[in-house]
Amino acid sequence: MSESQTIQIIPMKSEHVSQVAQLHIQNIKEGFISSLGHKFVCCLYQAIVESYRAFGFVAVRDGKVLGFITCAENTDAVSKLVLRRNLFKLLWAYLPKMLRLKNIKNSLESLLCPAHRGNDLPSADLLAIVVAQEARGLGLGKRLVEASCSEFRKRGVETFKTMVDELFSANDFYKHIGFKHVGKYRHHGDMHNTYVLEIKKQESADLLITET
Ligand SMILES: CC(C)(COP(=O)(O)OP(=O)(O)OC[C@H]1O[C@@H](n2cnc3c(N)ncnc32)[C@H](O)[C@@H]1OP(=O)(O)O)[C@@H](O)C(=O)NCCC(=O)NCCS
């Protein structure tokens, strides 16, 4: 049995949230969300687990989360849920940070922007994907995207988008597994790329378009 076969891809549940938040903070260090700390990021991922408009998968071996992916059918609806459920908790815990004008602007942009990136883009999003450094190159990232493609199709979604800082090496990962580059935009002062993936129609295990 190969190393990657000992790692299961399963739906993300509350019990995974703390490890997922840690992976996010360790591996997307430059992101504004990471700067708000473990407690805040846990609230965000807990809301994703609880929202019927969002879902996630984790790559797990012996209870250890080695990677995760989160997606939303409609990010605007999920953002509103996060705000509704956590507003007081978030304000209480993060008031000092939130009170800085730049952070208020960044918070709102982070929570609400994906849905406002253009009417011609799909409303479904791949929100975040991370594979722990020690587990990269084993095909887990691709398996996580494939699991999400299957789930999107079950929900009647055929196309989804993702946005990534143009400096991240993940740009090459997305292009390699079949995402199409559809545009650029500025977010928190940095340039980001927007990609779209059309999910293959056939009910095959390999849902991605593999040629670049
Ligand atoms: C991007 C990331 C999720 C890829 O995870 P991974 O498990 O190493 O990727 P896989 O092993 O599934 O790779 C699948 C294919 O993409 C290719 N690939 C992976 N990363 C690549 C990269 N940075 N550049 C080019 N190709 C890449 C692999 O070679 C593989 O190709 P193959 O199918 O022809 O063998 C991982 O590098 C990561 O967590 N990065 C940091 C977090 C991040 O930036 N996330 C995106 C923003 S939310």
Write the DSSP assignment of 44-111 as a string of letters.
Answer: HHHHHHH-TTEEEEEEEETTEEEEEEEEES-HHHHHHHHHHHHHHHHHHHHHHHHTSHHHHHHHHHHH
Q: Which domains does the chain have, with CATH numbers?
A: 4-207 (3.40.630.30)
Mutate to test the pocket of ligand 1, among 146, 171, 173 (most ligand atoms within 8 A of CB): 173
Sheet holding 159-165, edge to edge: 8-11, 54-61, 64-72, 125-131, 159-165, 190-198, 180-187
In this prediction, residue 152 has a pLDDT band, given cuts at 50, 70 and 90, of very high
Which residue has the CA at smallest separation from atom 40 of ligand 1?
Answer: 130
Which residue has the CA at smallest separation from atom 4 of ligand 1?
Answer: 141
Mean pLDDT of the chain: 84
9 pLDDT more than 90: yes
Which helix or strand (DSSP H or E) is residue 181 part of? strand 180-187
Burial annotation 119-147 (CB, 10 A radius, 16+ → b, else e) = eebbbbbbbbbbbbeebeebbbbbbbbbb
207, two tokens: 């849902």
133, two tokens: 């450094």
**What are the pLDDT digits (tens) for 184-203?**
988 767 899 999 999 987 54
Secondary structure percentages of the chain, helix, strand, coil, to 5: 45, 25, 30
Which residue has the CA at smallest separation from atom 19 of ligand 1?
Answer: 173
DSSP three-state, residue 28: coil
Q: Which of 152, 163, 165, 158 is nearest to 198 (CA)?
A: 158
Ligand 1 atom with the shortest distance to the CA of 126: 48
- CA of 150 relative to ligand 1 center, distance in Å: 19
Average pLDDT over residues 149-157: 96
In this prediction, residue 149 has a pLDDT band, given cuts at 50, 70 and 90, of very high
**What are the pLDDT digits (tens) for 73-109?**
988 888 887 778 777 766 776 666 666 655 655 655 5
Q: In the prediction, which pLDDT does 212 show?
A: 35
Average pLDDT over residues 130-150: 97
